[in-house]
């Protein structure tokens, strides 16, 4: 048996694990035993894993694994072809699209689960081999608002600017919009100190599994009305300032913008906040006093998650949380801090090295002349050949197949998708699916036939986590080694190999190494001197057991630094070293109309992950959570004539009347689950499931104007009982070549 130290393929906690595998015998001999995983001691997980981690190895030998390229034939079926045929066809389609419509007719959509090496080379491939500006990734759906807020407040964005283990010493933790008990269960152990001190404060409209951790004196649960988190945070800041709790010395020495902030929070006294949010004024005062006392005498942290960030004002809401932390003197201090909980496995590294529409490797701005000049030198290309900013994800997807208006560039005609399942995960998913079908050519790289792969003209089989070498960057900015533990299927290839071959076929300038170590060496040079500087990190240092957090520059003496586990201890990343208090203002919340209208929030459940492409194929996870159900408060259900287990149809409220008349329009069809965990004005639906159960069929493509983050959390909907007779269409848990679920089919 071989034991390989690596990390979990799922969330950004990146729990350490070992893969235990039997040596592979000759092809004609008996099959080797399936690999297994074991927990491994590490600061983030302390040997523990969640259900998803414990079952991760089951996917490595899964019978539905893709092992050869699949090309759509003239009869509409996906049929196996050789790699030579597949790659030659891609090169021809790229040339055709760009000859007819220009360089930006080819687009790239990446993923937050790709290794640093793949994310880096994919961004380089888009800009150097394809010459397109049209690249973005699914991290735009989960981290962009928090990143934008941190950049403007601190001058630098890293999810947690401190090691997660620091939380163990906290006696107060304010957790806003994150259900860590289900999304990253091993994280909960880091909250034990705050719970024991009665200081875990959870803000969530739902009585989630994390909110339940505050029971029995362990803390407080604040349950605001949907989309009132910004008002709640402004109210807390108001109490801190007017209650004499602000850290005046810290604010004078380390921040700018206090006067504007005071004016911006003045209208939000506790009683007004109570009227807007439903959170009692007394509870607001108690929360502010607890935070301030802990910040002065103990250790206090403020953590945010997607629940407050996935809004059209998500950047301002995350900014309000940072303002509160700065008022208390937390960021960069020895008494606590502020951080945001990155979701995807490489959500941090994936956005640092070139997948985002407006960034170059090293977290450099693509509009910065010095950054462009640096990358041009590393890549050996003229600076002018590097495209400018592209389109953020939602705009990129809206452009698919769009014809060119007079005098303007048209939409994307040929699209590459790597590590994303946008038919399930993107907002207004029905429109996204139509856009994919309007493309001239769609290439999807995946290891399973996802719902997006089913729309492809060409599907490329790629490697899974335990079959590849590389690095990942977790939610603390800690760079980790991913190691190959098992051999991949003979027909699967790494994305690095694919990009190398395509770059050659497209006569691309510069080098496109297929060896991950070579790619990482280039990434080190590309990131050197940038905000996310990896130049002092090497495979050798990581393999020797060093735990390295970026920035980790190569020193002027030629020796690498020890990395930076704790940012901002001496100065913030703005030129003057000071943080910015950025005044933000809240609009009055739009309430449900009361005519059967409710607010839909989407999110995750314990057993499933992201679009479910992986977890829906694990038998035990699928059995535990086989379908998405709409959580509905019993009082709301009673008024709608809905009983537990009834089939219900969910539509955006503005489209419900027209849809009822025409039986058209995007809708979700699921069973109802009556629950006291949701407010009477709110319903909750997990987003992991496809077909007519896909939550994002009804979410809107409305976005934050600063970050491009979609509005996932507050779609106003009409929920109706769906009287079903006879056979009900239930989308397959896993699509097949023979029967793709039809998103338009309803009972």
* CATH assignment of the domain containing 506: 3.40.50.740
How confident is the model at residue 591, as a pLDDT? 82
Verify that 315 and 253 share a domain, yes or no: yes
pLDDT at 502 over 90: yes
Verify that 362 and 493 share a domain, yes or no: yes
**597-611: average pLDDT:** 94
How confident is the model at residue 428, as a pLDDT? 94
Q: What is the CATH number of the domain that holds 271?
A: 3.40.228.10
Cis before residue 624, ω within 30 degrees of 0? no
- Classify residue 168: in a domain, yes or no: yes
Q: pLDDT band at 742, cuts 50/70/90? A: very low
- Classify residue 706: in a domain, yes or no: yes
Verify that 505 and 370 share a domain, yes or no: yes
**262-271: average pLDDT:** 97
Q: What is the CATH number of the domain that holds 20?
A: 2.20.25.90
- Classify residue 484: in a domain, yes or no: no
Q: Tokens representing 11? A: 């969330």
Q: pLDDT band at 26, cuts 50/70/90? A: low
**30-34: average pLDDT:** 67
Closest among 597, 604, 551 to 718, alpha carbons compared: 597
pLDDT digits (tens, 9 = 90+) for 607-640: 999 999 999 999 999 999 999 999 999 999 999 9
- Classify residue 587: in a domain, yes or no: no
Report the chain's mean pLDDT, rounded to a whole number: 92
How confident is the model at residue 481, as a pLDDT? 96
**292-304: average pLDDT:** 96
What residues have CB less than 8 Å from 195, skipping those under 6 apart? 213, 214, 218, 219
Q: How many helices (H) and strands (E) does the chain have?
A: 24, 28
pLDDT at 665 over 90: no
Phi-psi domain of 464 (left: phi exceeds 0; alpha: psi -120 through 50; beta: other): beta
Q: What is the rounded CA–CA span in Å between residue 15 and residue 6?
A: 9
pLDDT at 211 over 90: yes
Helix (H, G, I), strand (E, B) or coil at 663: coil
Read off φ and ψ for residue 18, nearest 5 degrees. -115, 140
Verify that 168 and 317 share a domain, yes or no: yes
Q: What is the rounded CA–CA span in Å between residue 165 and residue 41?
A: 13
Does the pTM surpass 0.95? The reply is no
Q: What is the rounded CA–CA span in Å between residue 313 and residue 584?
A: 10
Q: What is the DSSP string of 30-69?
A: PPPPPPEEEE---TTTTT---HHHHTGGGGTT-TT---S-
How confident is the model at residue 654, as a pLDDT? 74
Check the CA dihedral 707-708-709-712 and report its sign.
Answer: positive
Contact 694, 126 (CB under 8 A): no
H/E element, 232:
helix 229-242
- Per-residue burial over 153-183, b if 16 or more Cβ lie within 10 Å, else e, is bbbbbbbbbbbbebbeebbbbbbbbbbbbbb
Verify that 74 and 38 share a domain, yes or no: no
Instruction: Tally the domains of the chain.
Output: 4
Relative to beta strand 629-632, strand 668-674 is parallel
Tell me the residue ranges of DSSP E strands in 420-553: 441-446, 458-461, 470-473, 478-482, 548-549
How confident is the model at residue 261, as a pLDDT? 98
In a 13 Å sphere around the CA of 623, the CA atoms on its Cβ side amount to 5
Q: What is the dihedral of CA 44, 46, 48, 50, to 10 degrees?
A: -10
pLDDT digits (tens, 9 = 90+) for 543-583: 998 889 999 999 777 777 889 999 999 999 999 999 999 99
Contact 707, 314 (CB under 8 A): yes
Q: Tokens representing 313? A: 């004002």
Verify that 122 and 256 share a domain, yes or no: no
Contact 9, 419 (CB under 8 A): no
Verify that 235 and 313 share a domain, yes or no: yes
Q: pLDDT band at 33, cuts 50/70/90? A: confident
Contact 574, 157 (CB under 8 A): no
Verify that 493 and 399 share a domain, yes or no: yes
Q: What is the rounded CA–CA span in Å between residue 161 and residue 430?
A: 38
- Classify residue 747: in a domain, yes or no: no
Q: Which residue has the tokens 């799922």?
A: 10
Contact 676, 631 (CB under 8 A): no
pLDDT digits (tens, 9 = 90+) for 321-341: 999 999 999 999 999 999 999
Closest among 610, 568, 565 to 44, alpha carbons compared: 565
How confident is the model at residue 407, as a pLDDT? 52
Look at 547 and 524; give whichever has higher pLDDT: 524
Among 41-45, 268-272, 404-408, 430-434, the minimum mean pLDDT is found in 404-408
How confident is the model at residue 24, as a pLDDT? 67
Rounded (5°) CA angle 89-92-94: 110
Tell me the residue ranges of DSSP E strands in 269-413: 300-304, 336-340, 359-360, 364-365
- Classify residue 548: in a domain, yes or no: no
Please give the C-alpha separations between residue 316 and each of 425, 454, 581, in angstroms, as whole numbers.
24, 38, 12
Contact 658, 614 (CB under 8 A): no
Relative to beta strand 414-418, strand 364-365 is unpaired
- Classify residue 322: in a domain, yes or no: yes
Q: What is the rounded CA–CA span in Å between residue 96 and residue 75?
A: 22
pLDDT digits (tens, 9 = 90+) for 391-413: 999 999 999 998 866 556 689 99
Q: Tokens representing 337? A: 């801090």
The DSSP output letter for 573 is: S
| Portion of the chain with pLDDT greater than 90, in percent | 87
- Classify residue 387: in a domain, yes or no: yes
How confident is the model at residue 657, as a pLDDT? 46
pLDDT at 737 over 70: no
How confident is the model at residue 558, as a pLDDT? 72
How confident is the model at residue 142, as a pLDDT? 87
Verify that 24 and 170 share a domain, yes or no: no
| Residue 53: how many other CB atoms lie within 10 Å | 24
Q: Which residue has the tokens 């297994």?
A: 36
Contact 78, 69 (CB under 8 A): no
How confident is the model at residue 29, as a pLDDT? 54
Q: Tokens representing 179? A: 């259900």
Verify that 89 and 52 share a domain, yes or no: no
Verify that 175 and 282 share a domain, yes or no: yes
Polymer length of the chain: 747
Verify that 39 and 80 share a domain, yes or no: no
Q: What is the rounded CA–CA span in Å between residue 347 and residue 306?
A: 13
Q: Tokens representing 714? A: 């507050």
Which range marks the domain in which residue 407 is found? 70-141+357-465+489-514
Tell me how far the alpha carbon of residue 288 is from its chain's centroid: 30
**60-78: average pLDDT:** 95
Among 514, 547, 580, the domain-final residue is 514
pLDDT at 725 over 50: no
Q: pLDDT band at 152, cuts 50/70/90? A: very high
């Amino acid at each position: 048996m071989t034991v390989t130290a690596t990390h979990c393929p799922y969330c950004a906690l990146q729990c350490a694990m070992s893969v235990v595998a039997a040596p592979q015998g000759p092809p004609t001999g008996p099959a080797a035993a399936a690999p297994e995983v074991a927990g491994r001691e590490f600061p983030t997980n302390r040997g523990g894993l969640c259900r998803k981690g414990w079952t991760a190895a089951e996917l490595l030998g899964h019978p539905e694994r893709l092992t050869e390229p699949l090309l759509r034939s003239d009869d509409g079926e996906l049929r196996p072809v050789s790699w030579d045929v597949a790659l030659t066809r891609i090169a021809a389609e790229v040339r055709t699209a760009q000859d007819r419509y220009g360089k930006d007719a080819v687009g790239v959509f990446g993923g937050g689960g790709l290794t640093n090496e793949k994310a880096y080379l994919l961004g380089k491939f888009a800009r150097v081999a394809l010459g397109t500006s049209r690249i973005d990734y699914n991290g735009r759906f989960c981290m962009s608002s928090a990143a934008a807020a941190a950049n403007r407040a601190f001058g630098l964005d890293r999810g947690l600017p401190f090691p997660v283990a620091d939380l163990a010493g906290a006696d107060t933790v304010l957790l806003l919009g994150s259900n860590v008990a289900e999304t990253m269960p091993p994280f909960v152990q880091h909250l034990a100190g705050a719970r024991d001190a009665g200081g875990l404060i959870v803000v969530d409209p739902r009585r989630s599994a994390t909110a339940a951790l505050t029971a029995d004196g362990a803390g407080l649960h604040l349950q605001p009305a949907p989309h009132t988190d910004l008002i709640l945070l402004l109210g807390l800041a108001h109490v801190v300032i007017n209650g004499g709790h602000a850290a005046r010395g810290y604010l004078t020495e380390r921040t700018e913008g206090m006067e504007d902030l005071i004016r911006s929070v003045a209208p939000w006294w506790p009683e007004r906040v109570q009227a807007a949010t439903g959170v009692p004024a007394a509870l607001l005062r108690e929360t502010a006093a607890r935070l301030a006392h802990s910040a002065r005498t103990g250790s206090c942290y403020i953590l945010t998650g997607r629940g407050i960030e996935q809004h059209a004002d998500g950047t301002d809401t995350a900014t309000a949380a940072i303002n509160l932390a700065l008022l208390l003197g937390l960021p960069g201090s020895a008494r606590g801090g502020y951080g945001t909980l990155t979701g995807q496995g490489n959500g941090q590294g994936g956005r640092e090295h070139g997948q985002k529409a407006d960034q170059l490797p090293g977290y450099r701005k693509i509009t910065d002349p010095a950054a462009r000049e640096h990358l041009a030198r590393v890549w050996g290309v003229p600076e002018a050949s590097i495209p400018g900013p592209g389109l953020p994800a939602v705009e990129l997807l809206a452009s698919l197949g769009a014809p060119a208006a007079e005098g303007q560039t048209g939409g994307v005609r040929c699209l590459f998708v790597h590590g994303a399942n946008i038919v399930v995960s993107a907002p207004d998913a029905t429109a996204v699916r139509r856009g994919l079908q309007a493309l001239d050519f769609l290439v999807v790289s995946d290891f399973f036939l996802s719902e997006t792969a089913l729309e492809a003209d060409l599907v490329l089989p790629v490697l899974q986590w335990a079959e590849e070498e590389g690095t990942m960057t977790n939610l603390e900015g800690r760079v980790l080694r991913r190691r190959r533990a098992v051999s991949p299927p003979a027909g699967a290839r790494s994305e690095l190999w694919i990009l190398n071959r395509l770059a050659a076929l497209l006569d691309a300038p510069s080098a496109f190494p297929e060896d991950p170590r070579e790619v990482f060496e280039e990434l080190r040079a590309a990131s050197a001197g940038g905000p996310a500087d990896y130049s002092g990190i090497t495979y050798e240092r990581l393999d020797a057991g060093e735990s390295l957090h970026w920035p980790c520059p190569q020193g002027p003496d030629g020796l690498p630094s020890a990395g930076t586990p704790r940012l901002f201890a001496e100065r913030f990343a703005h030129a003057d070293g000071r943080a910015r208090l950025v005044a933000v203002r809240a609009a009055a919340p739009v309430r449900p109309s009361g005519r059967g209208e409710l607010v839909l929030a989407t999110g995750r459940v314990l057993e499933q992950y992201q679009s479910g492409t992986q977890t829906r194929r694990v038998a035990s996870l699928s059995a535990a959570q086989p379908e998405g159900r709409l959580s509905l408060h019993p009082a709301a259900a009673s008024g709608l004539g809905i009983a537990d287990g009834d089939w219900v149809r969910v539509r955006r409220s503005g489209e419900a009347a027209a849809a009822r008349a025409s039986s058209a329009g995007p809708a979700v069809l699921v069973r109802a689950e009556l629950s006291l965990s949701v407010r009477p004005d709110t319903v909750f639906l997990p987003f992991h499931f496809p077909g007519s159960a896909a939550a994002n069929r009804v979410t809107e493509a409305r976005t934050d104007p600063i970050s491009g983050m979609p509005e996932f959390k507050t779609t106003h909907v009409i929920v109706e009982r769906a009287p079903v007779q006879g056979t009900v269409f239930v989308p397959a848990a896993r699509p097949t070549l023979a029967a793709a679920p039809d998103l338009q089919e309803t009972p």
